[in-house]
Structure 1
Amino acid sequence: MLDVKIEYKDIKISNVQEKDLVSIQKLMNRKDFLEGETNLEDLRERFLESYISQCEFFLKIEKGSILIGILKGRIEFKNENELWIWYFYLSEVYKNTSLGGILIKEIIEYFSREYDVTEFFARTIKNEIENMNIWKSAGYKAIRIVKNFYDIDGKHMDMIIMKKI
């Protein structure tokens, strides 16, 4: 797992530890997540996959000592290094604030500086309009739709790939 430490005012973004998984599950249960996304064993498996990969990250976002979000993705080292954000979630309390866009900007600056990333991508479920709007407000544009990419509890949904323009 990549070692990531980002600080912005009283917010800290850092690597998830196994002991954080129960808190992450509780945070996810507060939102209308799709059933099957909040299973603790699945979270543990995703954590372990990130933990053993040199290029992946699974991050917690804390304000003070309170967990307010999570971020998961990977860097692909190529001619132009790429950052892929697979999952970004902030607590509902921050839904209608500018914090999401501010943190995305901080994340972009961090990975540009620390890992020489020049290309930034995010993926989201097509039906998650609020999430898509956060990415759009941060300068991302939809570049591709992958039909029926997600299969969660037998429900097929499209994935939108967005790129920082």
Structure 2
Amino acid sequence: MVDIFIKYHDIELSTVTKNCVEDIYQSLSLDKECINKNICFDYIYERFLEYYISENEFFLKIKNKDNSIGIIKGRMEFTNTVEIWLNCFYIYEIYRNKGQGAKVLDIFTKEIKKEFLVQDIYSVLSNDKLKYLGFWYKNGYSVIKNIKKDYGYKYNNFIILKKER
């Protein structure tokens, strides 16, 4: 678990605790995208446990003033350089298309690079998230790899994006 706290004006990114899991589940259950997937509390709790027991993973709640507006989940890789891999960057539906996602991603990117000396940031999109590709392009990411592989479950195509420096 990597403990992260970022505060920039009204935006706050902080580590998810066990007490936050229910709130995240409630917020996700209001989004049409998640309703269609029947995401249950146990699924969210399992993602929390994954991050909690892993030394290089982070799971952040995003707040704007007092409103919870989304989550970020990913991991840090320490190779020759420090890399961030974003597995989930999710802005709740009612806060989308208002510039919140771009603002949060920009703050996260700048602060994480400064705090942890991160050199490269990657994001992974599955087939069902390709509709958000434009968001990533607008925020300085480009496709570096398209993975087509049978993983034995629903999402077998992934796109890896990298933040341009």
TM (normalized to structure 1)? 0.88
Q: Does 2:107 match 1:113?
A: no
| RMSD of aligned residue pairs (Cα, Å) | 1.9
* Alignment match, 2:13: 13
Aligned CA distance change for structure 1 residues 27 and 149 (closer, same or farther; 3 Å): farther
Identity %, equivalent residues = 33
Q: Residue type of the partner of 1:59? A: L
CA contact (8 A) 1:140 1:163 kept: yes
Displacement of 1:150 after TM fit? 7.0
Q: 2:37 aligns with which of 14, 30, 35?
A: 35
Instruction: Tell me how far apart the structure 2 counterparts of residues 157 and 57 of structure 1 sit (CA, whole Å).
Output: 24
Residue aligning to 1:147: 148
> Greater helix percent: which structure?
2
TM-score norm. by structure 2 comes to 0.88
Q: Structure 2 unaligned runs (5+)?
A: none
Q: Distance in 2 between matches of 1:75 and 1:95?
A: 26
**Structure 1 residue aligned with 2:72:** 71
Letter of the 1:27 counterpart: S
Aligned match of 1:3: 3
Q: Retained in 2: the 8 A contact 1:148–1:156?
A: no
Farther off after superposition, 125-134 or 18-27: 125-134
2:51 maps to 1:50: yes
Which structure 1 segments of 5+ residues have no match?
none
Contact 1:3 1:15 in 2 (8 A): yes
> How many residues are treated as equivalent by the alignment?
162
Cα deviations by residue, 1:107-139 (Å, 9 ceiling, x for unpaired): 111111111110110011233244222211110
Distance 1:161 1:68 in 2: 25
Moved more, 93-102 or 107-116: 93-102
Q: Do the aligned partners of 2:74 and 2:85 also contact (CA within 8 Å) in 1? A: yes
Q: Tell me how far apart the structure 1 counterparts of residues 119 and 22 of structure 2 sit (CA, whole Å).
A: 34
